[in-house]
Amino acid sequence: MRPGLAFLLAFVVLFPATLRRDLWSPDEQRHAEVGRTMLATGDWVLPHLEGAIYPDKPAPPFWAIGGAMRLFGTTEWAARLPFVLAAGGTLAALAGLARLLGLSGPTTLLAALMLLTSYRFAWLGQRVSLDVMLTCFSTLAIVGWVRQARGIGRDLANGALFFGAAALAVAAKGPLGFLVPVVTAVVHALLTGAGRRLVRPGFLLPAGLFVALTAAWLVPSCLAGGEAYTRELLFEQSAGRVFHAWNHERPPWYYLGKLPLEFMPWTPVALLGLWASLRRRRAGAATAAAPIADPGVDRLVLAWFGPMFVFLSIVESKRGNYLLPLYPALALYASVTVTRLLGGAAAPLRRVALGLGGLFALIGVAILVAPFLVEIDGLEAPSLAVGAVTVGAAFLLGAGLCLARARSDRLRPAFVGLAAGMALALPAAGLLVLPEIDALKSPRPVAEALAKEARGASLEVPFLDVRTEEYSFYSGLACREVERDEFRRLLDEPTVRLAVMDAGELKKVDLPANAEVVLRRRVSGDEIVLVRLPRDGT
């Protein structure tokens, strides 16, 4: 598969899911609002959120969001478009990497499909997710290193690709964008004896490009933000998370349970490949049991995945998103596992194919009947029926192809069929199922009611125990989260006409006698209350 076709495949599969769904927590509304604020204020140097400097993430991703909104309007799909393109770029980089390694066309296609349809990548690839940009550029940097390690092209061009892409990865989400490609290159050089190629002057000279690209956005931001912003961005949000997590704190073994679930449905294939590799090593067999062009794939995957998985497991702050830059390595390894086992005893692979086909047949049936058997407050069965039938049919199609092929001697089409069925299910779910869940997840109804109550006035609205950015995006009002004491004081201010609070706070805050609760609505599991405070003349 050519990189251009891999990019197009990702776009066709992921983009439809951005068209009809509102922004959901976590992160989507916050980052979309920062990009919208950049566009509204014209300040493209320093990110802001709710009138305050936003030091949590670098500025460039918000340039992309704001730029897309300038071209296509302030819509959800415009905010998500840069990340769909980044997901496509990741698939294109993976396809290019597979070609560099000499993998066959079917193996490259399978790697692209496995990455695209793995749960975590498929979910983040259609959302506002900075991790997708980080994954795209870190994978592209690794392509530059593999070209250098294999002696393809000139040192200077390979170094420019490596360091330029690493700089863009850092611009997407900070220091991890540098660590992933650099650690991969160093460990891979040690494993393969390519150390001399790593330290060639021509390859290292473009390190100045990394410095220049990073300084181009970092220096203006730090000068505009001052010492506090610089300290927060460079230290608290990077090194601080390594040694002291103030959120998402998890034990070191957290990813051992998280990753197998989030790389599904391809986890069994990757585990089978690991088992086969260990078995061959014990038997003293060759690294590859089947005709595959580059037996060094194992070393690249080990260098890419192993050290960073250990490092991210040590870091106190952990989320499933943080492992996304390692997913291309897993997809590459899983696709190569299929090719290797096809050249030898394929019985274990056939059992995996039958198991996955059976599992997805059950999932397809469950999706078909779920709207008629399960009642969820806020959702109606008829509204989900069309989507459930479409998505369920796509799962059943993939499962049927997998089960049919798994009984023949041609096993690779079984996995391609399963992945293709999932790829069909993704846009169907995005267009037909997920928009219906807006009734449970979206803040839009509350935000629109807030804007209606404001009657066109430019108001500042206090919020108590409710995140504000999602409501700012949809209402266009200045929303400010405050503590309980300040919230109660603001209710008595003559300029405050509206307030929003969690329903649980009603018993803790004495509302003024003239306060009216005009809306109660459940959003993402919380009951949100909109309060009107009538004033003279309103």
CA dist., res. 299 & res. 191, Å (int): 7
Looking at residue 457, which CATH number applies to its domain?
Answer: 3.40.190
Residue 292: the pLDDT is: 39
Following DSSP, what letter does each residue of 427-464 receive, concatenated? HHIIIIIHHHHHHHH--HHHHHHHHHHHTT---EEEEE
- In a domain, residue 500? The reply is yes
Residue 293: the pLDDT is: 39
Among the three residues 395, 416, 441, which one is the final residue of a domain in this structure?
441
**Which single residue is written with the structure tokens 């998103």?**
321
Residue 290: the pLDDT is: 40
CA dist., res. 395 & res. 363, Å (int): 7
Residue 89: partners with Cβ closer than 8 Å, 6 or more residues away: 7, 136, 137, 140
CA dist., res. 461 & res. 275, Å (int): 58
CA dist., res. 124 & res. 172, Å (int): 15
Q: Are 371 and 433 in contact (CB under 8 A)?
A: no
Are residue 435 and residue 457 in the same domain, yes or no?
A: no
C-alpha distances (whole Å) from 195 to each of 53, 60, 182, 198 are 43, 33, 13, 5
- Give phi and psi for 497, each to the nearest 5: -110, -20
Are residue 172 and residue 88 in the same domain, yes or no?
A: yes
Residue 471: the pLDDT is: 86
- In a domain, residue 425? The reply is yes
Q: Which domain holds residue 141?
A: 3-342
Are residue 58 and residue 82 in the same domain, yes or no?
A: yes
Residue 287: the pLDDT is: 42
Q: Are 10 and 125 in contact (CB under 8 A)?
A: yes
CA dist., res. 1 & res. 96, Å (int): 9
Residue 95: the pLDDT is: 95
Residue 344: the pLDDT is: 59
Give me the amino acid identity at 281: R
Q: What is the DSSP letter of 103?
A: -
CA dist., res. 277 & res. 74, Å (int): 50
pLDDT by 10s per residue, the chain, length 538: 789 999 999 999 999 999 988 888 778 888 999 999 999 999 999 999 888 899 889 999 999 999 999 999 999 999 999 999 999 999 999 999 999 998 888 899 999 999 999 999 999 999 999 999 999 999 999 999 999 999 999 999 999 999 999 999 999 988 889 999 999 999 999 999 999 999 999 999 999 999 999 999 999 999 998 888 888 888 776 655 555 555 667 888 999 999 999 999 999 988 888 887 777 666 654 444 443 334 578 899 999 999 999 999 988 888 889 999 999 999 999 999 888 887 655 677 888 888 888 888 998 888 888 777 766 666 666 667 777 888 888 888 888 888 887 777 677 888 888 888 888 888 988 888 888 888 788 888 888 888 888 887 777 889 998 888 888 888 888 888 889 889 888 888 888 888 898 888 888 888 888 888 888 888 877 889 898 888 665 5
Are residue 220 and residue 362 in the same domain, yes or no?
A: no
First to last CA, the chain: 64
Buried b (16+ CB within 10 A) or exposed e, 526-538: eebbbbbbeeeee
- In a domain, residue 170? The reply is yes
- In a domain, residue 221? The reply is yes
Are residue 525 and residue 387 in the same domain, yes or no?
A: no
Are residue 57 and residue 195 in the same domain, yes or no?
A: yes
Are residue 71 and residue 192 in the same domain, yes or no?
A: yes
User: Residue 480: which of 49, 106, 60, 103 has the closest Cα?
Assistant: 49
CA dist., res. 174 & res. 167, Å (int): 9
CB neighbour class for 513 (10 Å; exposed up to 12, middle 13-18, buried from 19): exposed
Q: How many domains does the chain have?
A: 3
CA dist., res. 142 & res. 130, Å (int): 19
Are residue 202 and residue 304 in the same domain, yes or no?
A: yes
Are residue 429 and residue 490 in the same domain, yes or no?
A: no
- In a domain, residue 537? The reply is no
- In a domain, residue 74? The reply is yes
Residue 240: the pLDDT is: 58
Q: Residues for the chain: how many in total?
A: 538
Among the three residues 327, 342, 357, which one is the final residue of a domain in this structure?
342
**pLDDT tens, residue by residue, 365-400:** 888 887 777 666 666 666 677 778 888 888 888 888
CB neighbour class for 22 (10 Å; exposed up to 12, middle 13-18, buried from 19): buried
Q: Coil, strand, or helix at residue 286?
A: coil
Q: What is the DSSP letter of 516?
A: E
C-alpha distances (whole Å) from 64 to each of 61, 128, 161, 313, 389 are 5, 11, 21, 30, 36
CA dist., res. 120 & res. 259, Å (int): 9
Q: Are 452 and 445 in contact (CB under 8 A)?
A: no
- In a domain, residue 42? The reply is yes
- In a domain, residue 538? The reply is no
Are residue 263 and residue 176 in the same domain, yes or no?
A: yes
Are residue 412 and residue 459 in the same domain, yes or no?
A: no
Among the three residues 417, 441, 465, which one is the final residue of a domain in this structure?
441
Are residue 493 and residue 375 in the same domain, yes or no?
A: no
For 528, the enclosing helix (H) or strand (E) is: strand 526-532
